Amino acid sequence: LRESAKTLRIGVIGGDGVGPVVLQAAQRVLEAVPGIPKPSFVPLQAGFEHFQKTGTALPRETVDALKSECTAAMFGAVSSPSHKVAGYSSPIVALRKEMDLYANVRPVKSVEGHDPRVVDMTIVRENTECLYVKQETIEDTATGRVARATRQISERASTRIGRMAFEIALAAAEVKKQRGGSYGWTGAPTVTIVHKSNVLSVTDGLFRESVRAVAKEYPTVEVNEQIVDSLVYRLFREPEKLSTLVCPNLYGDIVSDGAAALVGSLGLVPSVNVGDSFIMGEPVHGSAPDIADRVPSIANPLASIRSAALMLEFMGYVEPAAKIYDAVDESIRQGKVTPDLGGKLSTEEVTEVVRKQL
Ligand code: ATP
Ligand code: MG
């Protein structure tokens, strides 16, 4: 438990669409969970709506408040306009950079006694480089236009994401040991390095080599590797055999959306952005503009509630987080859910069900 986590002052960036309403649900659950200091919340601005009102998507005050006052944060969603809007760029990408949140951690788990397949994996996605350095060029040539993108893989970023994956594999195995249940298919903590170094021997070669170098510090963790295409095949054929995956940015993006499809609605999958000194929970889904105006709200709050639990877990509050996961699972088993999962309840009613379980 980090010293700074002993007070819970949480920045809340609702953003656009359903973002604010699902984070409201997460706050109400954090207020109800036993075993943590009483949380306080700092409402903060960011997003496309904010950009339209003020001309800036991520105000300086938001970043300053996170850095000076907050011990962690929750992020809702921002809508990304499909056409390019001059002056607008995604505040979540900027925020990850500002706060040096270099890992995006996405656990994908099935609900015991509900889902027919056992899925229990964690995708650890590098968050700062790969094709996301967004250096693209296009030129006219004699045979037509040619576009190029730069893909950056650094030893530093690959090493630190590797270390994060090994730490997570160990921590997850420890939690499993205490709470029962098996972990992965070997019963021992395992990290699978996802790459394509048979084709991209220099970039993916460096990623693989850097993670393997870190592995030496973790003799009790088994290391596997898998070419990304055959990993996707396994993801659909035998997801129960996968545990902790560590991926360069783009593969991580693709693999985690695929994995989310194994366990139901987008409204269920949590994530956390992690750096060495800050943690920010964030549901994987977007602003859901098609349902954002519904009154009462029918947005599924469970992804955000699980993201709040994940945030707590990374701060060291393992038991309180587990209580929230159990309460969420129970509401799913009982069918007390929003319409995206076939239920009839509103956002607020589902939140109440989870709070009662706590
Ligand atoms: P954005 O640009 O913000 O990502 P989007 O149009 O891609 O917006 P998403 O939020 O990614 O929308 O959602 C995709 C689909 O999943 C939509 O039909 C949306 O209603 C649904 N969805 C997403 N999140 C939730 C949620 N929390 N509860 C219920 N349905 C959701
Ligand atoms: Mg989307």
Could you report the predicted ipTM of this complex, rounded to two decimals? 0.94
Nearest ligand, CA 294? 1
Please list all protein residues whose beta carbon sits less than 5 angstroms from ligand 2, which is an ion. 286
Residues, the chain: 358
DSSP-derived letter for residue 202 is: T
Please report the atom of ligand 1 found closest to the CA of residue 16.
3
Mutate to test the pocket of ligand 1, among 285, 291, 305, 349 (most ligand atoms within 8 A of CB): 285
Per-residue DSSP letter, 223: E
Which are the contacts of 236, defined by CB distance < 8 A and separation ≥ 6? 258, 262
pLDDT of res. 133 = 86
Ligand 1 proximity of 101 Cβ (cutoff 6 Å)? no
C-alpha 336/C-alpha 253 separation (Å) is 30
Measured CA to CA, the distance from residue 314 to residue 92 in angstroms comes to 20
Tokens 């409201």, residue? Answer: 24
Q: 27 in ligand 1 pocket by Cβ < 6 Å? A: no
Q: Which two three-digit tokens encode residue 295?
A: 């009154």
CB 80 less than 6 A from any atom of ligand 1: yes
What letter represents residue 180's amino acid? G
Of the candidates 7, 26, 23, the one whose C-alpha atom is nearest the C-alpha of residue 355 is 26
* Ligand 1, atom 6, residue with closest C-alpha: 288
User: Is the C-beta atom of 205 inside 6 A of ligand 1?
Assistant: no
- Dihedral in degrees, nearest 10, Cα atoms 257, 260, 266, 271: -80
Tens-digit pLDDT profile for residues 44-67: 999 999 999 999 999 999 999 999
Cβ neighbours around 154 below 10 Å, total: 15
Query: Hey, what amino acid is at 346?
Result: S
- Closest-approaching ligand to the CA atom of 90: 1
Write out the chain's pLDDT in tens, 358 residues. 565 577 899 999 999 999 999 999 999 999 999 999 999 999 999 999 999 999 999 999 999 999 999 999 999 999 878 777 888 988 988 898 889 999 999 999 999 888 888 899 999 999 999 998 889 999 999 999 999 999 999 999 999 999 999 999 998 888 777 776 655 555 679 999 999 999 999 999 999 999 999 999 999 999 999 999 999 999 999 999 999 999 999 999 999 888 988 987 789 999 999 998 899 999 999 999 999 999 999 999 999 999 999 999 999 898 999 999 999 999 999 999 999 999 999 999 999 999 999 9
Distance 289 CA to ligand 2 centre (A): 9
